[in-house]
């Protein structure tokens, strides 16, 4: 990837990833309102706002972060399967996105119930809590952020083999001591 394109892709990836993190923090504030408020009007409003934040901010930013992260991994020296930190970041991001999509359905259904004027305060308080998922999602995103900033050392077995192959000009018998052949 040419440096200008790489920098643009990195800027887009960082914007999407930090945006996802910020949207989760905004969602968490609304989720805390749902979990702690005794005011049914505030709880109704929070559920409606949570659905909007999830579908118009969190989900699009999650997918954009995942796609741009894949582009960065495939288009840079880091590779997708070469380094543990990249692989773990990918797995955590995919996992967070899958959990998010599952929770988004729960949030939409809860928001629809909250929007119904005939829903009582007791019914509002019986809606499924999402606070644990909000906090868990925030923690996962922070872990991914730390991994991507610090880039801890460590090649995957695939990355180690590729690195050795490149160092030895494609001669796998020299690159991989497990091959049993002598150089």
One DSSP character per residue, 104-158 reads HHHHHHHHHHHH-TT--HHHHHTSPP-HHHHHHHHHHHHHHHHHHHH----B-HH
**The pLDDT of residue 166:** 84
Note the pLDDT tens digit of each residue in 28-65: 999 999 999 999 999 999 999 999 999 999 999 999 99
182/121: higher pLDDT? 121
Q: Are 59 and 100 within 8 A, CB to CB?
A: yes
Q: How far is 103 from 64, CA to CA, in rounded Å? A: 18
Q: Are 175 and 158 within 8 A, CB to CB?
A: no
Q: How far is 98 from 38, CA to CA, in rounded Å? A: 31
**The pLDDT of residue 167:** 86
Q: Where are the domains of the chain?
A: 3-177
**The pLDDT of residue 181:** 41
Q: Is the pLDDT of residue 95 over 80?
A: yes
Q: What are the distances in angstroms from CA 138 to CA 9, 45, 99, 144, 177?
A: 24, 22, 12, 10, 42
Note the pLDDT tens digit of each residue in 163-175: 888 888 765 555 4
Note the pLDDT tens digit of each residue in 96-126: 999 999 999 999 999 999 999 999 999 999 9
- Give Rg (Cα) of the chain: 22
**The pLDDT of residue 182:** 42
Q: How far is 128 from 112, CA to CA, in rounded Å? A: 13
**The pLDDT of residue 170:** 65
Q: Is the pLDDT of residue 127 over 70?
A: yes
Report the pLDDT averaged over residues 17-21.
97
């Amino acid at each position: 990837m040419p440096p200008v394109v790489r920098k643009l892709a990195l800027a887009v990836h960082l914007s999407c990833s930090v945006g996802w993190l910020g949207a989760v923090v905004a969602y968490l504030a609304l989720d805390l309102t749902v979990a702690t408020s005794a005011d049914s009007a505030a709880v109704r409003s929070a559920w409606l706002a949570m659905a909007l934040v999830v579908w118009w901010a969190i989900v699009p930013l999650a997918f954009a972060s995942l796609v741009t992260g894949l582009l960065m991994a495939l288009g840079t020296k880091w590779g997708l399967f070469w380094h543990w930190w990249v692989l773990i970041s990918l797995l955590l991001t995919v996992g967070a996105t899958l959990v998010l999509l599952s929770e988004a359905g729960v949030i939409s259904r809860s928001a629809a119930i909250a929007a119904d004027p005939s829903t009582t305060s007791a019914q509002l308080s019986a809606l499924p809590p999402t606070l644990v998922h909000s906090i868990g999602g925030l923690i996962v995103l922070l872990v991914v952020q730390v991994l991507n900033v610090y880039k801890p050392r460590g090649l995957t077995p695939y990355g180690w083999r590729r690195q050795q192959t490149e160092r030895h000009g494609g001669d796998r018998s020299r690159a991989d001591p497990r091959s049993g052949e002598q150089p």
